[in-house]
Structure 1
Amino acid sequence: MRLYHPQMSDSIAWHENKVPVLVAENSRLFMLFVNQLSMQSEGEKGPFVLSYEYEPVDIAEHVIMIRDYLYLPVDDRKLQNRFQTLLQSVVMHELQDRTASLQREISEYLEQVCLHMDYPTAFSEGEYVLPLLKSLKLKPAIDGVTPLERLIQYMELYNGLIKDQIFVLVGAHAYFSDDEISQLYKMAAYEKWHMLLIERYQPNHIDAEEIYLFDENLCELRVDLS
């Protein structure tokens, strides 16, 4: 995967056991990068170009922007669609016998309801279990105790349901300690996640980071801290 912006002399590339960090010390450029990539991740057009093996791919399909580490939403339509597909697979295949039994029980219960009514009553035949589960609004849960645990769970959830995602973390160094960032990098290397950090200032030295730096005067530098 490679990510390019017209402001860059070359694209950002992901290498094994490396995490690219895009630093924009100029506040306007920082907000430009964050806002443009955020809008493109939601399906709007913009200047960023994401490519795989030099072929452009849809940023909205592959980029997850994370800016608030206290609130990690699981109601994203793309995530919910994959989750509901998984839920249907579990209900119809892994729990096939139990689902069939529940279907019969609901049908029998509805028949009893009709018999106890004072007026002629009928009900629609069909599938009951999946609509019931939908009405109960089953959804993924993030239950980690610490913000780092919750972030890792969130990324595990996305990576498990939707492949080939790039997690863009905005201002992570300002929120997490260096030790926590290092833990996150180790998990990313183990799970083979693609991550990109966008920072306002160059962070302290942490192994595995590749720094793509724009200073206050928009001069571009690339720093390998390995």
Structure 2
Amino acid sequence: MDPVKLMKQEVGQAAAAKVTSGSIVGLGTGSTTAFAIQFIGERLASGQLTDIKGIPTSFQASVLAKQHGIPLTTLDEVDRIDIAIDGADEVDPQHNLIKGGGAAHTREKVVDSLADQFIVVVDNSKLVDVLGSTFPLPVEVLPMAVAPVTRALQALGGQPELRLGVRKDGPVITDQGNMILDVKFNAISDPAALEKTLNNIPGVLENGLFVGVADVVLVGEVQGDSATVRTL
């Protein structure tokens, strides 16, 4: 098997192992989280887990959960989330994150922030010293406000670019019907301050900075033909 795929499986399995019976589980988006959803479903099918309900953060997560037999619920129907499992595009030494490569960061932030325990699953290429080093910051914007928000982001020193679809004409549209501006900053020295500043721009729904939300970061690494998982 491809060592990278094996590593993602190992990280996903390690995260799924932390889910206990009777839990409400936030189900994140992305390739590594997809393996966690798969393994949660396998644990349910085998009887290792019982009475699990998932809250998906995206259409993708909802489809995968149904495929693997995980019952779903909504925030209207529960008063807690016990554990959430999700990926990240960057992780700094303080466990602050950039998320949103899959354009699902708004729903992810709601679910992940409500969870009693938020577990991040990544490979070691996602570890950075300073956020913004390798990945642009996604900002979800109301379609009518793309132009003024673009100017506001430029005034903050960012270089925004409208995210375009792959194998389709036009922009990426989120599950909320909005657009994504990917903003390159030279470095994000104060993620908490920037998160608040961006969300105060009229027309911005949410940005991909997750500050002080992650509780556990599981990091997968490939060493030769084998994969290992460590806790950051």
Q: What TM-score comes out, normalization by structure 1 length?
A: 0.26
Larger helix fraction of residues: 1
Higher relative contact order, chain-length normalized (CA < 8 Å, sep 6+): 1
Structure having the larger proportion of residues in strand: 2
